[in-house]
Amino acid sequence: VGAREVTAAVARFYDELPFNFQDAERAAAGVRDRNQVAESYPDLDDRLASARTVLDVGCGAGWLSNTCAYHYGVEVRGIDLSRTAVERAREVSELLGVEDATEFRRADLFETALGGRHDVVVSLGVLHHTPDLPGALARLPGWVSERGCVYVGLYHAPSRRPFLACFERYRRLLREGRLTERDAEEAFARYRELDDRTDDSTLARSWFRDQVLHPHETQHTLREVAALLAGHGFAVVSTSINRFAPFERVEDLFELEEAQEEHAQRRLAEGSYLPGFFTVLAERV
């Protein structure tokens, strides 16, 4: 399957139902009532506190872009392949009253010519759904201001392996075009045993199909991403791999990340939801 076909399939997938999709009023309340960046990404929280502009690459239905505008008062541009997602992001920003600080556009990150540089260029859960992770990552440095940073969240190969293994039967049937409605319902029930964070059924479905029935995903490591970023003159300064703790050399974390497969396996066996995701914050050397 060629790159164009992958991108077209991913766009169709998200136009049908974007990730993190729920009723606009609920989505707005979710942003208003909780700052999920501060809760989950302390290093990003810290950068946003002193940022003026943010570019959200693959902004989806806009929870992050709108959080940046609402809680940090920054100017945000969000781009995404999916028209449905972009429209929802815009709608939520209007409900929050931050529409003047946000601009959402339907665009393919590989093709768009974005003028301007941004203090934070963030992309959560996006680049591993493109046909070319190194190529996608290579786009980001050109959009970052001199003292700005890149922040990416990706599937983590070691800690995602157990989760994928758990759903392999369904994923194989999907690849072979043989997944029945009944299989999908069975997979959804299994997923809900692990992830009962919400009682909103649309939101739960949008997470489930993203995690289990996606047409295209790849998985990565800190080792790989650190090397790719180094090639663009960027160094990793913080990562979720060691829970955002300070470190001297990024190489010292590579052993730790490999050991995370076993940890994920154990947690999954205990019934915890562990989809296998990591983040990296990098800045110019």
Strand order from edge to edge, sheet including 102-106: 102-106, 75-80, 53-57, 118-124, 144-155, 277-284, 234-239
Residue among 136, 145, 121, 130 at smallest CA distance from 55: 121
Residue 60 makes contact with ligand SAM by CB under 6 A? yes
Residue 109 makes contact with ligand SAM by CB under 6 A? yes
- Point out which span in 37-45, 79-87, 192-200, 221-229 binds ligand SAM (CB under 6 A): 79-87
**Which residue has the CB atom at the shortest distance from ligand SAM?**
60
Single residue of 8, 110, 200, 273 touching ligand SAM by CB under 6 A: 110
- Point out which span in 23-31, 34-42, 103-111, 166-174 binds ligand SAM (CB under 6 A): 103-111
Single residue of 94, 108, 132, 200 touching ligand SAM by CB under 6 A: 108
Single residue of 124, 133, 204, 212 touching ligand SAM by CB under 6 A: 124
Single residue of 41, 63, 151, 234 touching ligand SAM by CB under 6 A: 63
Nearest distance from C-beta of residue 184 to ligand SAM, angstroms: 19
Residue 85 makes contact with ligand SAM by CB under 6 A? yes
Phi/psi-derived region of residue 125, left when phi > 0, alpha when psi is between -120 and 50, beta in every other case: left
Nearest distance from C-beta of residue 128 to ligand SAM, angstroms: 9
Which one-letter amino acid corresponds to residue 15? Answer: D
CA dihedral sign, ordered 243, 48, 153, 196: positive
**Using CA atoms, how far apart are residues 139 and 146, in angstroms rounded to an integer?**
15
- Point out which span in 15-23, 96-104, 158-166, 201-209 binds ligand SAM (CB under 6 A): 15-23
Residue 82 makes contact with ligand SAM by CB under 6 A? yes
> What's the DSSP call for residue 52?
S
End-to-end Cα, the chain, rounded Å: 37
Contact footprint for ligand SAM (CB under 6 A): 7, 10, 14, 18-20, 58-60, 63-64, 79-82, 85, 108-110, 124-126, 129-130, 210
